[in-house]
Structure 1
Amino acid sequence: MEDFAPLIRQEMKQFAELYFKDEKLLYYANLFMERKFTEPMKFGPLTVLHYRLFGGTSPEAAYHAGASIELFILASDILDDLQDQDAPHQPWSQAPLPIALHLATVFMTLSQQALTECGLEAEIVLPVIDMMNKQLLIAANGQMADLGNLATDEASYLSIVQHKSAALLVLACMTGVMLTGREWHAGVAEYAEQLGIAAQIENDRRDLLRWDEKNDFLQRKKTLLTLYLLEDLGERDQWVADYYACRINETEALGMQEEFEQLCERSGTMLYGSAMFSLYFNRFQELLGNIPETAGKIQEIMAIVSGKIANSGIPQ
Structure 2
Amino acid sequence: MKDAVERSVDWLYLRNLLHRFIESKQTFPFAELCYLHANVFNSENDEEELYKLMAAVELLVLAFDMFDDLEDLDNFTEPWMDIDRGEAINSSSFLYTLSLSHIHSLSSPYRSEILGLFLEYALQAMKGQHIDLANAVKTEKECLQMMRWKSGSLTALAAEAGVMFACGKRYEEVKEYGHQVGIAGQIENDYKGLFTPHKQDRKFLKPSLALLYLQRKFNQTSVDILQYVHSGKDFDEYFGSIVAFKEKLLEAGVTQYLNVMKHIALKKAETYIKKLPLPAEKLDELLTNLIKK
Does the alignment reach a TM-score above 0.5? yes
Tell me whether 1:53 sits opposite 2:35 in the alignment.
no
Superposition pairs for residues 1-316 of structure 1, below 5 Å? 12-36=1-25, 38=26, 40-55=27-42, 57-121=45-109, 124-208=110-194, 210-214=195-199, 217=202, 220-232=205-217, 234=219, 238=223, 240-242=225-227, 248-251=230-233, 255-258=237-240, 260-293=245-278, 295-297=280-282, 300-301=285-286, 305=290
How many angstroms apart in 2 are the aligned matches of 1:236 and 1:34?
42
| TM-score (normalised: structure 1) | 0.82
The structural deviation recorded for 1:282 is: 2.4
> Deviation digits for residues 29-59 of structure 1, max 9, x if unmatched?
11000001x2x21111211221222225211
User: Structure 1 residues 14, 173: closer, same or farther in 2, change over 3 A?
Assistant: same
Tell me which moved more, 228-237 or 42-51: 228-237
The structural deviation recorded for 1:214 is: 2.3
How many angstroms apart in 1 are the aligned matches of 2:274 and 2:234?
49
How many angstroms apart in 2 are the aligned matches of 1:120 and 1:83?
35
> Deviation digits for residues 214-268 of structure 1, max 9, x if unmatched?
2775650221122112211656764544565xxx541487631346444311111
User: Structure 1 residues 148, 164: closer, same or farther in 2, change over 3 A?
Assistant: same
How many angstroms apart in 2 are the aligned matches of 1:186 and 1:94?
41
How many angstroms apart in 1 are the aligned matches of 2:88 and 2:289?
29
Percent same amino acid at aligned positions?
27
Q: Which amino acid is the alignment partner of residue 273 of structure 2?
A: L
| TM-score (normalised: structure 2) | 0.88
User: Structure 1 residues 113, 295: closer, same or farther in 2, change over 3 A?
Assistant: farther
How many angstroms apart in 2 are the aligned matches of 1:201 and 1:34?
26
How many angstroms apart in 2 are the aligned matches of 1:172 and 1:218?
26
Q: Which amino acid is the alignment partner of residue 188 of structure 1?
A: V
Gaps of 5+ in 1: 1-11, 309-316
The structural deviation recorded for 1:115 is: 1.3
How many angstroms apart in 1 are the aligned matches of 2:28 and 2:291?
10
| Residues 78, 104 of structure 1: 8 Å contact kept | yes
The structural deviation recorded for 1:167 is: 0.9
Q: Which amino acid is the alignment partner of residue 267 of structure 2?
A: N
User: Structure 1 residues 295, 227: closer, same or farther in 2, change over 3 A?
Assistant: farther
SS state at 1:184 partner: coil
How many angstroms apart in 2 are the aligned matches of 1:147 and 1:254?
27
| Residues 266, 291 of structure 2: 8 Å contact kept | no
| Residues 162, 193 of structure 1: 8 Å contact kept | yes
Q: Which amino acid is the alignment partner of residue 265 of structure 2?
A: Y
User: Structure 1 residues 188, 87: closer, same or farther in 2, change over 3 A?
Assistant: same
**Where does residue 314 of structure 1 map in the other structure?**
none
The structural deviation recorded for 1:97 is: 1.1
User: Structure 1 residues 75, 304: closer, same or farther in 2, change over 3 A?
Assistant: farther
Aligned residues: 289
How many angstroms apart in 2 are the aligned matches of 1:151 and 1:236?
23
Q: Which amino acid is the alignment partner of residue 3 of structure 2?
A: Q
How many angstroms apart in 2 are the aligned matches of 1:108 and 1:143?
15
The structural deviation recorded for 1:283 is: 2.4
User: Structure 1 residues 15, 223: closer, same or farther in 2, change over 3 A?
Assistant: same
Gaps of 5+ in 2: none
SS state at 1:110 partner: helix
Cα RMSD (Å): 2.5
User: Structure 1 residues 236, 86: closer, same or farther in 2, change over 3 A?
Assistant: same
User: Structure 1 residues 216, 226: closer, same or farther in 2, change over 3 A?
Assistant: farther
The structural deviation recorded for 1:307 is: 11
